Amino acid sequence: MDLQLTGKVAVITGGTVGIGLAVARGLAAEGAHLALCARDERRLRAVVHDLKTEFPVRVIGVAADVSALDGPAKLAGAVTAEFGGADILINNAGTGSDETILTAPDERWQAYWDLHVMAAVRLARAIAPGMKARGGGVILHNASICATQPLGYEPIYNVTKAALVMFSKCLANELIGDNIRVNAVNPGLVMTPDWQKTAKALTAGTDRSWEDYLQGIADDNAPIGRFADPAEIADLFVFLCSPRAGYVVGSTYYVDGGWLRTTT
Ligand code: NDP
């Protein structure tokens, strides 16, 4: 299937590892140019170098914190300077939390709100007008199954990801008239270095291997009995970016190995 993505310009927040990097690789393999954003400059430089070596596309890295007030503007400015604008925006940067509602201070709620919701709001304001001028585009939000089916230890993550899904729906309604399609993806368990780091820390000095610990999580939660490889999530993102998904507007797709226990 020709996904008709050759020469498109894609902006990916959190594109240096995990799902974001897999999406970057998937889009580059289809011939899209990339603008990756993350905070760790050293890792960003290395990833940009590797992608440029592997794929015949233009790749820039923008070191910025998308949760900061000026982060989205910095990213959008760099994209305009290099490419003149963007056709695709993937709001992917995000991270889990661990707290109780009764003990978490306001600052913690605000930090996750800024990372999961305001970054997407500010990037829409900064990038969508240019997309419209180019004739249209695609904006995708990487939320989580936790937006619908909460995990007990991370209420702030659950709440802010649920807000991101609703934001995605509202933005879809507002932008489809400009030929900009907005959708969201809710992954389940995805094997990233972060999961492995946590598993290693929790099993250090115990009889249990970190691999066995992660298998236990998969067995307990995902009927498929395993974590997803990031590329399995990225493939859906890449398809949703394509004009071949031209009638997909304002939807949220679960990629969770059967973990969601309801029909919605
Ligand atoms: P990782 O922790 O592996 O990667 C996160 C990426 O985001 C990194 O590139 C990181 O780079 C970047 N990032 C984090 N914070 C910021 C920030 N403030 N500004 C700019 N960049 C930032 O994440 P995953 O691949 O696991 O997850 C990606 C998304 O998918 C997240 O939104 C997550 O909530 C969601 N998700 C993940 C699941 C999983 O099982 N892994 C399941 C469901 C949803 P740097 O640190 O250099 O800034």
What are the tokens at 12?
């990916």
| Among 141, 136, 106, 97, CA closest to 121 | 141
Look at residue 264 in the predicted model and tell me its pLDDT.
73
pLDDT at 69: 98
Q: How many domains does the chain divide into?
A: 2
What's 34's domain CATH number? 3.40.50.720
Residues contacting 121, CB < 8 A, separation 6+: 167
157 annotated active-site: yes
Residues 106 and 213 in one domain: no
Give the mutation target among 21, 34, 95, 217 for probing the ligand 1 site: most ligand atoms within 8 A of CB.
95
Is the domain of 211 the same as that of 80? no
Same domain for 180 and 244: yes
Domain of residue 203, residue span: 192-227
The residue whose C-alpha atom lies closest to atom 44 belonging to ligand 1 is 144
Pair (115, 244) in one structural domain? yes
Structure-block tokens of residue 176 = 């489809």
Residue 77 to residue 155: CA distance in whole angstroms: 34
Q: Is residue 150 part of a domain?
A: yes
Same domain, 105 and 218: no
Pocket test for ligand 1, best of 17, 115, 252 (most atoms within 8 A of CB): 17
Looking at the domain assignment, is residue 4 inside a domain? no
Q: Locate the ligand 1 atom nearest the alpha carbon of residue 228 and give its number.
A: 40
Counting as low any pLDDT under 70, the low residues of the chain are none
Do 30 and 55 share a domain, yes or no? yes
Same domain? 173 vs 211: no
CA distance linking residue 139 with residue 171, whole number of Å:
9
Q: Which residues line ligand 1 (CB under 6 A)?
A: 13-14, 16-20, 37-40, 43, 65-67, 92-95, 115, 142, 144, 187, 189-190, 192-194
Closest ligand 1 atom to Cα of 189: 40
Asked if residue 182 is part of any domain, the answer here is: yes
- Classify residue 1: in a domain, yes or no: no
Is 30 part of any domain? yes
| Co-location of 155 and 222 in the same domain | no
Report if residue 260 sits inside a domain.
Answer: no
Give the pLDDT score at 68. Answer: 98
Q: Which of 157, 247, 253, 254 is catalytic?
A: 157
Quote the pTM value. 0.98
The CA 247 to ligand 1 mean position distance, Å, reads 28
Domain match, 216 and 242 both:
no
Please tell me whether residues 164 and 215 are part of one structural domain.
no
pLDDT in tens, 132-174: 999 999 999 999 999 999 999 999 999 999 999 999 999 999 9
Same domain, 114 and 205: no
Residues 123 and 181 in one domain: yes
